[in-house]
Structure 1
Amino acid sequence: MFKLSCALLVDDDQTTNYLNQLLLKRLNVTDKLLVALNGAEALQQLQLHSQNASEDQPILVLLDVKMPVMNGFEFLEAYDQLPLPRKEAIIIVMLTTSLHPQDVSRLEKLPIAGFLNKPLTKEKVDTILRTHLDRQLPGE
């Protein structure tokens, strides 16, 4: 498997970020892992690391739905307006704790690659890699 050059975790919960970082590092999925605590920080990270279509551009964004400052839905609206050089190469997967039919319906209408129920697991990471990035975990 070729590792991702960069991934971005976006979640306001420090524990969730810590656990997701541990999981992704243990699975050896990416060379560089960025973390943002809300949608506004995530936009700043994307702008900073996506200049000139550099290798530092996150290829995978794991985005929480409910966050203060700027939630996942607001992030997607602002993201849609960003003039990033290689925006089509970025895969956004939303992570949620709610599988309420109303929330699922709203998520299905978004311009994202998909959504998953928290917590992130090895199996879910492998599914994301296989489905959206034509990759798989080492030894799988």
Structure 2
Amino acid sequence: MPKLSCTLLVDDDQTTNYLNQLLLKRLSVTDKLLVALNGAEALQLLQTHSQEARESQPMLVFLDVKMPVMNGFEFLEAYEQLPLPHKQAIIIVMLTTSLHPQDVSRLEKLPIAGFLNKPLTKEKVENVLRAHFE
């Protein structure tokens, strides 16, 4: 399984972030792990790390749908406007607790690599890595 140079977790729930960090560290799938508590923080991190070396830019973003300040949908709208040099190389996977047909329909129309039902598991992470990084 490939090891990523940088991964970004975006979730307003501290417990979820903690558990996802533990999982990703245990699986040893990323060298650097960034955490944002909302979409606005995530945009700032992406801009900062994209201006540094390409290796510090997140290759994978796990993005929560429902967050205060800026939710996942608002993040994606703002993200589309960012002039990031290697934006096409960033894989975004939405994380949700709702598999309501209306929510799924909305997620399927977004410019993302896919969506997963929470919580993240070893199998889900491995599937994302296999699908997008092998």
Q: Same fold (TM over 0.5)?
A: yes
Is the 1:92–1:113 Cα contact (8 Å) retained in structure 2? yes
* Residues in 2 aligned to 1:107 and 1:86: alpha-carbon distance in whole angstroms: 23
- RMSD value, Cα: 0.8
* Residues in 2 aligned to 1:22 and 1:76: alpha-carbon distance in whole angstroms: 26
- The gaps in structure 2 that reach 5 residues or longer are none
Alignment length (residue pairs) = 134
* Residues in 1 aligned to 2:52 and 2:23: alpha-carbon distance in whole angstroms: 30
* Residues in 2 aligned to 1:2 and 1:93: alpha-carbon distance in whole angstroms: 17
Q: Residue 114 of structure 1 corresponds to which residue in structure 2?
A: 114
Runs of 4+ residues deviating >2 angstroms: none
Q: Secondary structure at the match of 2:115?
A: strand
Q: Residue 65 of structure 1 corresponds to which residue in structure 2?
A: 65
For residues 80-122 of structure 1, give each alpha carbon's deviation from its aligned partner in whole angstroms, at most 9, with x where no partner exists: 0000000000000000000000000000000000000000000
* Residues in 1 aligned to 2:132 and 2:95: alpha-carbon distance in whole angstroms: 15
Is the 1:8–1:35 Cα contact (8 Å) retained in structure 2? yes
Q: CA deviation at 1:2?
A: 3.4
Q: Secondary structure at the match of 2:35?
A: strand
Question: Quick check: 49-58 or 105-114, which moved more?
Answer: 49-58
Q: Residue 27 of structure 1 corresponds to which residue in structure 2?
A: 27
- The gaps in structure 1 that reach 5 residues or longer are 135-140
Q: Which has the higher helix share?
A: 2
Percent of pairs with identical residues: 86
Is the 1:53–1:86 Cα contact (8 Å) retained in structure 2? no
* Residues in 2 aligned to 1:59 and 1:122: alpha-carbon distance in whole angstroms: 18
Is the 1:52–1:85 Cα contact (8 Å) retained in structure 2? no
TM-score by length of 2: 0.98
Is the 2:4–2:29 Cα contact (8 Å) retained in structure 1? yes
Is the 2:2–2:129 Cα contact (8 Å) retained in structure 1? no
TM-score by length of 1: 0.94
Q: CA deviation at 1:52?
A: 5.2
- Cα separation, partners in 2 of 1:52 and 1:19, compared to 1, 3 Å: closer
Q: Are 1:94 and 2:94 matched, yes or no? A: yes
